[in-house]
Copies of this chain bind each other. A is one copy, B any other.
């Protein structure tokens, strides 16, 4: 199948699929006219990639996960380690964002938001505390 149908079936944009080929995550065959020819297993890999990316795994995580997926001798510990590391990064990011949210929501509720210039948001950026 051509890239268009592979895109519909994997729910990934054609551009993304070409990029994944460029970095070696999929290697579709080629027709004589130069068009990419995707097999069912190529689509299967693309769907896997889409799900892993949707969970926030990096491309390099995806590469490692796909290698483990293909390896019937894998240790589930290796998969789990990738996931726990990723989970830790996510939780750190959530903590950062929640700190920003905390500060910002206080500032926003303290600001009148009218046509006068007085603004605790700017005051805090200038001199916090």
Contact = CB atoms under 8 A, between A and B. Distances in A.
Interface of A: 44, 48, 51-52, 55-56, 65, 68-69, 71-77, 79-81, 83-84, 86-87, 90-91, 93-94, 97-98, 100-101, 103-105, 107-108, 111-119, 121-122, 124-126, 128
Interface of A is mostly: helix
Copies in the complex: 2
A51 B111 contact: no
B98 A83 contact: no
A56 B97 CA distance: 8
A83 B97 contact: no
A12 B104 CA distance: 22
A51 B100 CA distance: 11
